[in-house]
Amino acid sequence: MEKREVPVVAFSITNRFGGAYEDSNIKGIAHFIEHLLFTGTKTRSHEDISREIEKRGGELNAFTSHEMTSFHFKIPSIHFISGLNILTDMLNNPAFDQEKFEKEKKIILEEIKMYHDTPQRHVLEMLEENLYERPFGEKVIGSEKTVNSLKRDFVADFFSKNYDPSNYIVSVVGNADFEQICEYLENNFKKKKLKMKSKEIKFKNKESIEERADIDQAHFVIGMHAPLRNTKEFDVLTVLDAYLADGMSSRLFLEIREKRGLAYTVRSMLNSEKSYSYYSIYAGTKKDKIGEVKELIFAEFENIKNMSEKDLKEAKERVIGLKAINSEESVNIMNELMFYELVGNAEDYYKLEEKINKVTLKEVKELAKRLVKKYSSAAVVPR
């Protein structure tokens, strides 16, 4: 918890369970469960859940990833206990109503179509498939086939076997009483001491291209397996990214967009949880310019050897400055504390500046050289 003297509380309960725990034949079940918990409890309807938060000016949401499913709300402090009551009820007493189950299945199938029909999103899903073997490399949301095959009783039983308070992370930012929160949670959650086991993560490197008749722009992304979050090298990568590809003053943005006009969007992404990590660079460009964009990306990795101490200092200042900017929003810190706890210790979040300042120029150059030895790529291009 981070205490703040503002009249707002951001609160999350995160289960250390996601797509990484699923076999191929049930891929998407963690995400399905996330949806179902919003459809009603044994005492509240979907409308009750949303209304009791929103009528007080609050927001309620959730997300599922490979290694977690997180439920969170943000609400005025005076209504904090009301928010706690809702989230506790959702996690302890989901109804799994058969009619709502079938309705939610249809909604998720539309969500799958939406992501597929958005090339910028779909190409990132393709990249993960090219970086990891199945079942880890399959989409967290699942496929039309796997979602359609899920049955209500199986999902309800699966929930009871994979949602255990002993695996929960609670993250709080705002004006609330720490002891009161602890007492509330201890009184309302009982540990089952279940043992969950994630699937083995196997790396691979592959390149693929998908053609589409209904688009005009090519979407290209290149990705590399990267250091894990709780390592010194992850801090090195964060500094490297700040110089290479993060922001409009980065080397790749200047080379690809500003100097050559090859793309409107050039951006990098660091996707990382406890057991996996990969670094990717995306560009929206012309179909016949993908090769040139790819060459420029590799050229800038090569040019890291010319990075100076001044460049290093500026990159560090960017990382530290962005942390300060992001800290203005309580939900950002709520999630950061949760991520740090997932991989190690939440208190390490407050040591970021210290760790970033320890990164050396030699470490950045060595990591840049190693990263590009193996890579995957994906592209969605006009037919």
Give the homologous superfamily in CATH for domain 207-382.
Metalloenzyme, LuxS/M16 peptidase-like (3.30.830.10)
Q: Where, residue-wise, is CATH 3.30.830.10 in the chain?
A: 2-188, 207-382
Percent of the chain with pLDDT over 90: 98
Asked if the model's pLDDT at residue 195 lies above 90, the reply is no
331-362 pLDDT per residue, tens: 999 999 999 999 999 999 999 999 999 999 99
> What percent helix, strand, coil does the chain show, rounded to 5?
50, 20, 30
Which 3 state secondary structure label does DSSP give 377? strand
pLDDT band of residue 197 (cuts 50, 70, 90) is: confident
Q: Indicate the pLDDT class of residue 194, thresholds 50, 70 and 90.
A: confident
What pLDDT, in 10s, does the model give residues 132-152? 999 999 999 999 999 999 999
Whether residue 42 is predicted with pLDDT greater than 90 in this model: the reply is yes
Rg over alpha carbons for the chain, rounded to the nearest Å, is 22
Q: What percentage of the chain reaches a pLDDT higher than 70? A: 100
| Integer Cα distance of 105 and 246 in angstroms | 37
pLDDT of residue 192: 87
Going 38 to 39 to 45 to 47, the CA torsion angle's sign is: positive
pLDDT recorded at residue 7: 97
pLDDT tens digits for range 150-187: 999 999 999 999 999 999 999 999 999 999 999 999 99
Query: In terms of DSSP H, where are the helices of 223-289?
Result: 232-244, 251-252
Q: Is the pLDDT of residue 78 over 90?
A: yes
Residue 103 pLDDT > 90: yes
The residue ranges of DSSP E strands in 77-159, in sequence order, are none
Provide the pLDDT confidence category of residue 193 given band limits of 50, 70 and 90.
confident
- Domain 2-188: give its CATH code: 3.30.830.10
Average pLDDT over residues 303-328: 98
Span 87-103, average pLDDT: 98
Split at pLDDT 50, 70, 90, the class of 87 is: very high
pLDDT-based confidence at residue 196 (cuts at 50, 70, 90) = confident
40 Rama class: left (phi>0) / alpha (psi -120 to 50) / beta: left
